[in-house]
Chains A and B, each alone.
Chain A
Amino acid sequence: MAATESLSGPNDLDDRERAAVESLLYRLADDEFVIADRYTDWQVRAPTVESDIAIANIAQDELGHARLWYDLLEDFGHTEPELIWERDPETFRHSTLCELPFAEGDWADAIVRSYFYDEAEHLRLEALEESSYPRIRDRVGKIVGEEGYHREHAENWLRRLVGGDEGRERVQEAVDRLFPYALTLFEETEEDAAIDDLGIRTRSPSAMRAEWIETVTGMLTEIGIDARAPATDEDGRVSTDELPDHVGRGGDHTDHWATHYDEITNTYDELGRDHAARLMEDPDDE
C-alpha cells in the first residue's frame, strides 16, 4: 500500500476519518477486554499453581492493552462508563472467539484459543506499526512487547498437550470447534474500506487472514492436529458457510455474551455507580 499522509490528532479528524478510527479502536479494545475477562475464569482454577500465575499475567496484559485502546476512544469524549460499564452489550464489537465460555477443565480450549488469538493479534499489531493515525502508532510498540510471551506460552503448551492421547483429542476438539470463531477476528464491517484507504492500518483483514491460516494450519499439522484451510474466494474472503452463526464484529453475539456482560457489570449496577475508579496515571503521562 502506498504511504499515506499522516492523519492529525483526534480533534481535527473529519467525520469519515473519525468513524474509521473509532471503529478500529472499538474492535481492538473490545477484543482485548472480553478475552482477558474470559482468561480470568482460569484464575485459581488452572491446572497447576505456576500455570495459574502465568495465565493471570496474560489476562492482565490483555486488559492493559484494552485500557490503552479505550483510552484513545476517550480522546473523542467518551468516558469509561460509556465505553464499558453503561454500554449496550449489543454494541460491543469483539469477535465471538473472545466471548465463548470455557467448559470446566477445558484447558485445551484456553490454549488453542489463545494460540489463535495471539497469532492474529501479532499480525494485527504489525499492520498498525506504520498506522497513519499517530495516537495508535505510538502505542503499538508497548503492546507488541508483551505479545511475544503470549505466543510462546500458547505454542509451548500446545506441543506438550498433544504429547498424550487425551490432550491430543482435546486439542483436536478445540481446534475443530474454535477455528470458525477465530476466522471472525478478521471479518470486515462497512468501515474497513475507509480504515485501509486512510492508511490507519497497512494491511487488509483478508490479507492478514490468509497469512494467519497458513501459519496456524502449518503449525497444527506439524504437531499432528488436523486443520483444514477454509474455502476462500479470490479476494481472500471466507465463504459464510465457514463462519459461525454469530460473528461479533457487527454486534451480533452469542447468548453467552449477554450473561457475561451482566456478571461484569453486576457490582457497578448493584452500587448504582456513575463513575469508574482510576488507580493509574493517564497513559499519556506514563
Chain B
Amino acid sequence: MDLDTVKERAGPRQFSPDDDMPREYREAATRMIQFHANSEIMGAYLERPFIREAPSLDRKLAYSAKTQDELGHGQLLYRAAESLGIKTREQMLNELANGEGKFLNCFHYPMESWVETPMIAFFVDGAAMRRQATLKRTSWEPYAHAMDKVVFEEGFHIKHGESILKELATGSKKEQEMVQDAFETWWPRIIQFFGPTDDDSTHHDFSAEVGLKQMTNDELRQSFLNQYLPKAEKYGLEIPDTPTIEQDEDGNYRVAEDELDWEEFFQIAKNEYDPGRGQIDSRKRAHDAVEWVRETLDEYETTASGHAPQAAD
C-alpha cells in the first residue's frame, strides 16, 4: 500500500497485519506503541516499592493488582508493536534496558513517599486514560484491540488512585500538608505530560494523517484540565501559581507554557535526566539478572521437550 492510499483510507482500526503497510507507517506506529509499552513498564517500575509500603492490607492488594495490570498492558502493547514487523519484544525490552527506549516524562522522576502515589495513580494515569480512550480509534487494529482491554481495566486504576488521594486529603493535617507539597512538586510535570504545544511536536502531523493519533496534544491537555483540575480543587488542593493557568470565556484553559521547564523536559526525552537514568539502570540490573531464565526457556523451547507430547485425537 502506498502512503497516499494509507492517508486516504486512514480510519479507526483500518489496518491490520494482513495489509502491506509502507515502512513509514510501520516505523511511526512502532515508535508510538513502543513508547506507550515502555511507559507501562517504567511507570510500574516507579510504583513497585509502594506495594510493599502500602499502609493497609487492602491497599497492598490493590497496589499489587494495579502494578500487575500495568505489566499486562505492557504485554498487550509490545505484542501490538511486534505485529508491525519492525522490532521484536526482546529488542524493545533490551532497548529499554540500555537507555535507548523512550517513555513518559513523569516516570523519570523519583517517587519517595506514599503521598506522591496519587500524583501518578490519579493524575498521570487519568491523563493517560484520556489519551488511551481516544486510541481505541487508532488505525492500527492490534493497537486498538490492546486499548480495548487497557481502557477496560484502567477505570480501576483511576479510582484506586483517587481513593488514595481522597484518604490523604481528608486525613490528618499532616497528611493534607504532605499531599499538597507533593502536588506542587508534581503539577508542572503533569501539565507537561501532553508535551509542548503541537507546533513544537515533531511526530504529530504524520501520525494524525495516517490515523494513528486521534487527538492533538493541545486538545488532550485541554480535556485533561477540564476534567481533572476541578477534581484537584474538590480535594482541597491548591493549584500552584506556576504555570499560570487562565480560563477564557468559553471555559477553556490557557496554560502559560513558557513558564515550564522545557529544558528539563527535553533532557528527560533523551533519557539524560539523572533520576530517570537511575530508574533505567536499576531496571536494567534486574532485567539482566534474570537473563539466565529467559535463556533457559529459549533453550527449552528449541529442544523437543518444549513440545509436550499430544494425546491422540
Contacts and interface: CB of A to CB of B under 8 A. Distances in A.
Query: Are any A and B Cβ atoms less than 8 Å apart in their complex?
Result: yes
Interface of A: 33, 37, 40, 43-53, 56-57, 59-60, 63-64, 66-67, 70, 80, 84-85, 104-105, 107, 160-161, 163-164, 166-167, 170, 263-264, 266-268, 270-273, 276-280
A239 to B, nearest CB: 35
A160 B306 CA distance: 9
B55 A40 contact: no
Given A60-B64, A67-B58, A263-B52, 5 more contacts: A44-B71, A45-B290, A49-B71, A161-B293, A271-B172
Contact of B290 (A46, A50, A272, A278): A46
Contact of B53 (A160, A263, A272): A263
B289 interface: yes
Nearest to A280: B58
B75 A50 contact: yes
B285 interface: yes
B51 A277 contact: no
Nearest to B159: A279
Contacts of A279: 58-59, 61-62, 163
A263 B60 CA distance: 13
B193 interface: no
Chain A's interface: helix, strand, loop or mixed, by majority?
helix
B68 A271 contact: no
Contact of B296 (A80, A84, A167, A278): A167
Contacts of A166: 292, 295-296
A106 B276 CA distance: 25
14 contacts: A43-B51, A44-B44, A45-B286, A45-B289, A52-B71, A53-B68, A53-B75, A56-B71, A67-B57, A80-B57, A164-B295, A267-B114, A276-B55, A280-B58
B297 A160 contact: yes
A272 B58 contact: no
Contacts of B287: 45
Interface of B: 41, 44-45, 48, 50-62, 64-65, 67-68, 71-72, 74-75, 78, 89, 113-115, 163, 167, 171-172, 174-175, 178, 283, 285-290, 292-297, 299-300, 303, 305
Contacts of B72: 53
Contacts of B113: 267, 270
A276 B89 CA distance: 40
B165 to A, nearest CB: 12
B258 to A, nearest CB: 36
Nearest to B117: A267
A67 B78 CA distance: 35
Contact of A278 (B58, B174, B303): B58
Most A CB atoms within 10 A — which of B57, B68, B295?
B57
B78 A49 contact: yes
Contact of B68 (A57, A104, A107, A263): A57
Nearest to A166: B292
A141 to B, nearest CB: 20
A63 B21 CA distance: 47
B55 to A, nearest CB: 4
Contact of A44 (B67, B78, B89): B67
Contacts of B60: 37, 63
B151 to A, nearest CB: 18
A61 B71 CA distance: 18
Complex A-B, nearest 10 residue pairs according to Cβ-Cβ distance, in ascending order: A105-B289, A276-B56, A47-B293, A56-B68, A267-B114, A279-B58, A47-B290, A45-B286, A164-B296, A268-B55
